Amino acid sequence: MNNHKMACFLLLVLIGGIVYGTQEMRNRTNLAREAAESAKQEAENAEMQRSIAETNLIMLERETFDLRNGYQNWLPHFASVTNPQEGEQKVVDAIRSGGVFLLTQRFQLKEFQGEERGAITGVLEGELDFEDEYVKTLNWLGSLEEKVPSCRITSCNIIRGDRANNIHMKLKLEVPIMDPALAEVAKQNSAKAGTTASENPNPVES
């Protein structure tokens, strides 16, 4: 092989190498571009999912605002009674402060079992028998919800009393008993919320 043919052969090899290298670089560039496009698409999808989740959370907070607000307002009343003695004492204190004449009283604990048992472990059932002045007794009955907010009246029977202005009232009620551990957590959270509110009495609305 003479020098001319050798030079042509080397030139062809060099051109082939350049073409191969160019093709390889183009393939790598295309793969990198596809990977970048895929990553960009995934990032856009993730951002869209985040935006949807954020919107759903805002809507959920708006829809449940009244429920959560009511829960926070009522929780301290339930957390204040974690055993039958505390529930009975609240009712007795309400009777004493109202000054109504109590004939008899009977309390018994009804504990929940199985699936019924949760944050509320049971209820204290009370049966109360009163006889006193009509207005005085009904005013006390109306104030019972304020004095013992968590109690529920299950039965109320009123008949004429022995005296002209008296009535005889038989009352049945229930006071829920909260799990002590959950009640303690609720009290701590309430205390923290109160501290935060006192530190920020005038929050800036955005």
What's the CATH code of the domain at 140?
3.30.70.60
Q: What total of structural domains would you count in the chain?
A: 2
**pLDDT per residue as tens, the chain (206 positions):** 566 667 677 777 777 777 777 887 888 888 888 888 888 888 888 889 999 999 998 998 888 888 888 878 888 888 999 999 999 999 999 999 999 999 999 999 999 988 778 889 999 999 999 999 999 999 999 999 889 999 999 999 999 988 888 999 999 999 999 999 888 887 787 666 655 545 555 544 43
Alpha-carbon dihedral angle through residues 132, 136, 142, 147, given to the nearest 10 degrees: -90
Whether 88 and 181 share a structural domain: yes
Any domain includes 195: no
Task: Give phi and psi for 178, each to the nearest 5.
Answer: -95, 150
- Could you tell me if 98 and 159 lie in one domain? yes
Q: What is the pTM of this model?
A: 0.63
11-37 burial code (b ≥16 CB/10 A, e <16): eeeeeeeeeeeeeeeeeeeeeeeeeee
3-63 helix and 65-79 helix, angle to the nearest 10 degrees: 60
The reply to whether 151 and 121 lie within a common domain is: yes
Residues in the chain: 206
- In this structure, the answer to whether residues 114 and 161 fall within a common structural domain is yes
Q: Do 13 and 114 fall within a single domain?
A: no
Tell me if 44 is assigned to some domain. Answer: yes
The range of the structural domain enclosing residue 7 comes to: 1-60
User: Do 177 and 82 share a structural domain?
Assistant: yes
**Residue 115: what pLDDT?**
78
Instruction: Return all residues near 86 (Cβ < 8 A) that are at least 6 apart.
Output: 80
Please indicate, yes or no, whether residues 120 and 168 belong to a single structural domain of this protein: yes
Output the pLDDT for position 168: 95
